[in-house]
Amino acid sequence: MASRKDQHMRLLLAQEAARILLDSGSRDFALAKRKAAEHLSAHDTRQMPSNLEIEQAVAEYQRLFRSQSQPQHLQQLREDAYEAMQFFQDFDPRLVGPVLSGTADINTTISLHVFTDTPEEISLLLLDQHIPFETGEKRLRLREDTYQIFPTVSFLARQNRIEVIIFPVSKRVPTPLSPVDGRPVQRANLASVEMLLNEDVAQSDLIGG
């Protein structure tokens, strides 16, 4: 059983890792843990918080210190995500990650999953609209011990970074596992994101009124 001292350090590490994630806009939990351990001089792996504990610390930090600004940033990110999904509507887009779950903040990247057997179609669409973009790759966990690399494109929309991960259609690929809780990642289609936006507007009207 962990001592009270170890439990306290685990909490401090989760809070520091959460701050690092929010400041960077990244959701690289492993890197945030390493940096938090360096900052707090804590290298005992028994004290390391889980990704879920860090995500909970992110939400708590936002509630305590960004209760006014974070909902506004989240709403703007969801609006930009919705517009990007409309742009990619021929590729069955899905919103994933913190923008969907609600823990996104000002620096968070919008993450979309799209589906096509010809990844070049995504690049050609962006080229046709004269949208500057970068290509890359993303390594995702599909099962407990199975990883796969997928092509990506990324670009800016109103200064918000959008990363589009491209999945094949003809070859069935399992839903990637969430880095937060290890379960299949939640995906939202256009209609679901539109519902989220309506809820955001209603909430902001309630607060403003």
What local confidence, expressed as pLDDT, does residue 144 receive?
82
Are 61 and 21 a contacting pair, CB within 8 Å? no
What local confidence, expressed as pLDDT, does residue 192 receive?
96
Between CA 148 and CA 84 the distance in angstroms is 25
How confident is the chain (209 residues) per 10-residue block, as mean pLDDT? 77 94 86 93 80 94 88 92 97 96 91 97 97 96 92 93 96 92 95 90 59
What local confidence, expressed as pLDDT, does residue 3 receive?
74
Between CA 130 and CA 49 the distance in angstroms is 44
Q: Taking the C-alpha atoms of 128, 129, 135 and 138 in order, what is their torsion angle to the nearest 10 degrees? A: -110
Are 163 and 193 a contacting pair, CB within 8 Å? no
Tokens describing residue 3: 């001592």
What local confidence, expressed as pLDDT, does residue 159 receive?
84
Are 91 and 115 a contacting pair, CB within 8 Å? yes
What local confidence, expressed as pLDDT, does residue 45 receive?
67
What local confidence, expressed as pLDDT, does residue 2 receive?
58
Between CA 164 and CA 10 the distance in angstroms is 34
What local confidence, expressed as pLDDT, does residue 158 receive?
84
The CATH T-level fold of domain 69-208 is Beta Polymerase; domain 2 (3.30.460)
What local confidence, expressed as pLDDT, does residue 26 receive?
79
Between CA 145 and CA 140 the distance in angstroms is 11
What local confidence, expressed as pLDDT, does residue 39 receive?
92
